[in-house]
Amino acid sequence: MTFGKGVCVSVFVVDGGRKLAGEVSVQGSKNSALPILAATLLCGGECVLYNCPRLSDVEASLAILRYLGCTAYREGSTLVVNTDGMDRCDIPPELMHRMRSSIIFLGAIVARFGRARMSFPGGCELGPRPIDLHLSALREMGISISEEHGMLDCVVEDRLNAAKIALPIPSVGATENTMIAAAVADGTTVVANAAREPEIVDLADFLNACGAKISGAGESTIIIEGVEKLTPACHTIIPDRIVAATLMSAAAVTGASIRLKHVIPAHLQSVLPVFRDSGCEIDINPDGLRISAPYRLHSPKLIRTMPYPGFPTDAQAPVMSMAAVADGMTVFVENLFLSRYSHVSELCRLGADIRVEGKVAVVDGVRRLLSAPVRAHDLRGAAALVVAALCARGESEIGGIEYLERGYEDFELVLSSLGADVKKI
């Protein structure tokens, strides 16, 4: 479908009510690939990244690398990035606004080039996305940052210096920006109250493969002993735990038994109990898991989103679609983002019974959802609507699929391979 200036927007048409079956491999992690692509700027030469998902956010990161003078090309799920040709240190507004998490390039560009210029990343559908923790950490490492007219202008006189950073919030992005800059800083940096997500560990693994000396990733205190130079490396991106949770919700709402390959169960330690409490059987095997849903789901009762290893905020929306058709009431408390309930009004159009009061959403499970035209307003909300449409009787049209394509690779093909009737128009 094209509108206006030929802008192509996609919709999904889902004919719900089919039981999924079969097995599928889970894609590589978007939230691991993005910071690792930024970190390639620290090492000249050619890095090879395996299991990189084909996503619009990854394409946006490659566009930034190419704009900076690097070369990047894809062979299937393998990305080859060579940053030798880097000859710029600015990210233009249009590239910044294409992907707000472009802020993750800040530490890498300054560490490599001594200077960086980029516009303030706008807020996004989840509400304001402050970057104060990124900037205060980088300032402590000797970067002078001016914020004028919506632009960030960063300069470091000589080499970055190590610092003792204490994050008031275990921010994923601020932890990543600090790790990347500290990897080549002069001295040993300590990050206290660091984010503990698996994507932080994957970034540290990549940087260490390039010659960095990072220890403690995955724990609350990370120690980064700065080195003079990093060299290029090959790395395999970890599986996407949020896509895995989304596929588990799809299986749960369709009463299915499916097998997910390329899942690291340890990364789902706070998600698996929610599915088990809902009556799903989960069998763990060496490289994945099988989930078998009951005829009628029980409500998981209470879900509070927390920094890792707590229940991930990114799984809140897809799991809410499961709660919407479970027997009983579920209370969600969204502690990470101010407005991460944009999917609620759309789920109610499908017949869900959900009331929102601030950061609390109360879901009263119904027996059936009914098809309707709905529209996504953010990435994980889009995933929630697809999951809900899979169990809604009749044909639902879902708009805003461009949000879904930021984080889910070929999702209509993945679901169709499990027996769903999903068409992308």
Does residue 314 bind ligand EPZ (CB under 6 A)?
yes
**By three-state DSSP, how is residue 262 classified?**
coil
Q: Which is nearer to ligand EPZ, 44 or 407 (CB)?
A: 407
Considering only 58, 131, 184, 404, the residue that binds ligand EPZ (CB under 6 A) is 131
Considering only 174, 185, 210, 320, the residue that binds ligand EPZ (CB under 6 A) is 174
**By three-state DSSP, how is residue 96 classified?**
helix
DSSP string, 369-393: EE---EE--SHHHHHHHHHHHHTEE
Q: Which is nearer to ligand EPZ, 259 or 377 (CB)?
A: 377
Q: How far apart are CA 69 and CA 211, in angstroms?
A: 23
Does residue 318 bind ligand EPZ (CB under 6 A)?
no
User: Among residues 235, 234, 200, which one has the least CA distance to residue 214?
Assistant: 200
Active site amino acids: 124
What's the closest the beta carbon of residue 417 comes to ligand EPZ, in angstroms? 23
Shortest-Cβ-distance residue relative to ligand EPZ: 173
Residues 88-127 as x/- pattern, contact with ligand EPZ by CB under 6 A = -------------x--------------------------
**By three-state DSSP, how is residue 399 classified?**
strand
Does residue 81 bind ligand EPZ (CB under 6 A)?
no
Considering only 198, 365, 399, 407, the residue that binds ligand EPZ (CB under 6 A) is 407
What's the closest the beta carbon of residue 150 comes to ligand EPZ, in angstroms? 17
Residues 193-232 as x/- pattern, contact with ligand EPZ by CB under 6 A = --x-------------------------------------
Structure token pair of residue 312: 């991930």
What's the closest the beta carbon of residue 270 comes to ligand EPZ, in angstroms? 12
**Cβ-contact 93, 121 below 8 angstroms:** no
Q: Which is nearer to ligand EPZ, 112 or 134 (CB)?
A: 134
Buried b (16+ CB within 10 A) or exposed e, 282-317: beeeeebbebbbeeebebbeebebebbeebbbbbbb
User: Among residues 111, 407, 386, which one has the least CA distance to residue 250?
Assistant: 386
User: Among residues 342, 296, 291, which one has the least CA distance to residue 320?
Assistant: 342
DSSP string, 204-257: HHHHHHTT-EEE-BTBSEEEEE--S-----EEEPPB-HHHHHHHHHHHHHTT-E
Length of the chain: 425
Considering only 189, 313, 321, 330, the residue that binds ligand EPZ (CB under 6 A) is 313
Considering only 65, 89, 96, 133, the residue that binds ligand EPZ (CB under 6 A) is 133
Does residue 171 bind ligand EPZ (CB under 6 A)?
yes
**Cβ-contact 229, 184 below 8 angstroms:** yes
DSSP string, 401-416: HHHHTTT-TTHHHHHH
Residues 18-57 as x/- pattern, contact with ligand EPZ by CB under 6 A = ------------xx--x-----------------------
The footprint of ligand EPZ on residues 367-386 (CB under 6 A) is 379-380
Does residue 240 bind ligand EPZ (CB under 6 A)?
no
The site for ligand EPZ (CB under 6 A) is made up of 30-31, 34, 101, 129-134, 169, 171-174, 195, 313-314, 336-337, 379-380, 407
